[in-house]
């Protein structure tokens, strides 16, 4: 399975390129009150530490807008202002120095006000993400006799194309587009079509995906189907959970497709009635330890002679653990056999040697 990436027109959000040949960018959104600059910055630092590359903040009112200069000044990440309805908030955000705007021109309605925002963004070379979510589609025009309504993905694409034209008419092309739905097949159909109809970088996501577990799976399925077709330049996993939960899920999706690796990849067996060692805590401890070191090492934690050695050999470092004794592998070779109490320390020690060699 080869992924041939769609060639999109790149834009820059601060110092981060999205689209073109850039790696798929991971972003999130704060859920603090943006008016509280301190809390928003604290969350942004936490997100950055986990690997988030761009942060978006909601700007629902003038109190939020008033906090933006301070947020932009101290943020470790480029900041995108999320605006709905009131174009004056977009103008204030641009004056505050934000690096990107998320705007739904359909919500601002008056094209003259949209044009004012676009003019100001152009002067400052700030890109704008447009596009609709399924929840904010414009109302359906009256249908003729026997006429069927277009499918929802088509209505989403039509609305996004209308917004894009509004920007293009003003010679503005620093555009990203999103067409998110809750329903995965609808989302996939909409992105396929918008990918075909425009050259712009695409921001992928699933709206209102839900709670931590079921939302993570819904995001993974929808985002991965598109990325596997080469569609998508930046992703935002959205969950009804602490935004910090979104970042590891985003990297897990990219890692599963071999698109990006951040932190360790743990190959670990599912444990079965064949197992002679308590593997689940060992796998979790190994993951936790190497997560802190932040290097893209691959570690195998296997408790079984059936698939264990075969898999462990492929990893940078691994263990095939049996009853009381385990074989530690490094770069395809058994380097030592250790007692059960030393499984974790031996893996960590050998892993650190690999890290020292590969990422010194």
Helix (H) or strand (E) holding 216: helix 212-228
When asked if residue 324 is in the footprint of a copy of itself (CB under 8 A), the reply is no
- Of residues 179 through 218, those in contact with a copy of itself by CB under 8 A are 182-186, 188-189, 192, 207-211, 213-218
154 to 149, 176, 192, 228, 249: CA distances (angstroms): 10, 18, 11, 22, 29
Segment near a copy of itself (CB under 8 A); pick from 11-19, 117-125, 171-179, 235-243: 235-243
Q: Are 302 and 320 in contact (CB under 8 A)?
A: yes
When asked if residue 41 is in the footprint of a copy of itself (CB under 8 A), the reply is no
Q: How far is the CB of 122 from a copy of itself (least distance, A)?
A: 25
The span from the CA of 235 to the CA of 217, in Å, is 15
When asked if residue 136 is in the footprint of a copy of itself (CB under 8 A), the reply is yes
Residue of the chain from 12, 271, 294, 348 that contacts a copy of itself (CB under 8 A) = 271
Nearer to a copy of itself, 172 or 203 (CB): 203
Q: Are 222 and 206 in contact (CB under 8 A)?
A: yes
Residue of the chain from 5, 9, 12, 31 that contacts a copy of itself (CB under 8 A) = 31
What residues does 26 pair with on adjacent strands? 235
Q: How far is the CB of 25 from a copy of itself (least distance, A)?
A: 18
The span from the CA of 312 to the CA of 350, in Å, is 13
When asked if residue 150 is in the footprint of a copy of itself (CB under 8 A), the reply is no
- Of residues 114 through 133, those in contact with a copy of itself by CB under 8 A are 133
Counting residues that bind a copy of itself (by CB under 8 A) gives 90
Give SS3 for 164.
helix
When asked if residue 225 is in the footprint of a copy of itself (CB under 8 A), the reply is yes
> For the CA atoms of the chain, what is the radius of gyration?
24
Residue of the chain from 7, 38, 125, 258 that contacts a copy of itself (CB under 8 A) = 258
Segment near a copy of itself (CB under 8 A); pick from 93-101, 117-125, 160-168, 282-290: 282-290
Q: Are 297 and 264 in contact (CB under 8 A)?
A: yes
Q: How far is the CB of 12 from a copy of itself (least distance, A)?
A: 24
The string over 230-244, giving b where at least 16 C-beta atoms fall within 10 Å of a residue's C-beta and e elsewhere, is ebbbbbbbbbebebe
Residues in the chain, how many? 360
- Of residues 163 through 182, those in contact with a copy of itself by CB under 8 A are 182
């Amino acid at each position: 399975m080869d992924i041939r990436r769609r060639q999109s027109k790149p834009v820059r959000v601060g110092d981060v390129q999205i689209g073109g040949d850039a790696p798929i960018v991971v972003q999130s959104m704060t859920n603090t009150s943006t008016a509280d600059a301190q809390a928003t910055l604290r969350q942004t630092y936490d997100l950055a530490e986990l690997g988030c590359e761009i942060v978006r903040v909601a700007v629902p009112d003038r109190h939020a807008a008033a906090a933006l200069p301070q947020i932009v000044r101290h943020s470790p990440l480029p900041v995108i202002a999320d605006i709905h309805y009131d174009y004056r908030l977009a103008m204030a955000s641009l004056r505050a120095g934000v690096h990107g705007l998320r705007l739904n021109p359909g919500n601002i309605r008056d094209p003259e006000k949209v044009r004012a925002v676009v003019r100001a963004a152009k002067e400052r070379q700030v890109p704008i993400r447009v596009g609709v979510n399924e929840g904010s589609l414009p109302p359906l025009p009256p249908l003729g006799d026997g006429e069927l309504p277009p499918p929802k993905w088509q209505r989403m694409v039509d609305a996004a194309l209308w917004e894009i034209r509004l920007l293009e008419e003003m010679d503005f092309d620093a555009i990203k587009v999103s067409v998110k739905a809750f329903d995965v097949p609808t989302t996939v159909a909409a992105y396929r079509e918008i990918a075909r109809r425009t050259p712009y970088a695409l921001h992928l996501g699933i709206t209102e995906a839900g709670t931590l577990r079921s939302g993570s799976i819904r995001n993974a399925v929808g985002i991965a189907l598109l990325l596997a077709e080469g569609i998508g330049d930046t992703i935002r996993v959205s969950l009804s959970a602490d935004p910090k939960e979104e970042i590891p899920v985003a990297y897990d999706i990219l890692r599963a497709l071999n698109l990006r690796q951040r932190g360790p990849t743990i190959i670990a067996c599912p444990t079965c009635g064949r197992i002679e060692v308590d593997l689940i805590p060992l796998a979790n401890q190994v993951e936790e330890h190497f997560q802190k070191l932040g290097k893209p090492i691959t570690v195998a934690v296997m408790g079984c002679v059936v698939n264990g050695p075969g898999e462990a050999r492929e990893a940078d470092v691994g263990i095939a653990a049996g009853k009381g004794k385990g074989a530690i592998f490094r770069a395809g070779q058994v380097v030592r056999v250790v007692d059960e109490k030393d499984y974790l320390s031996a893996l960590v020690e050998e892993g650190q040697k690999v890290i020292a060699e590969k990422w010194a």
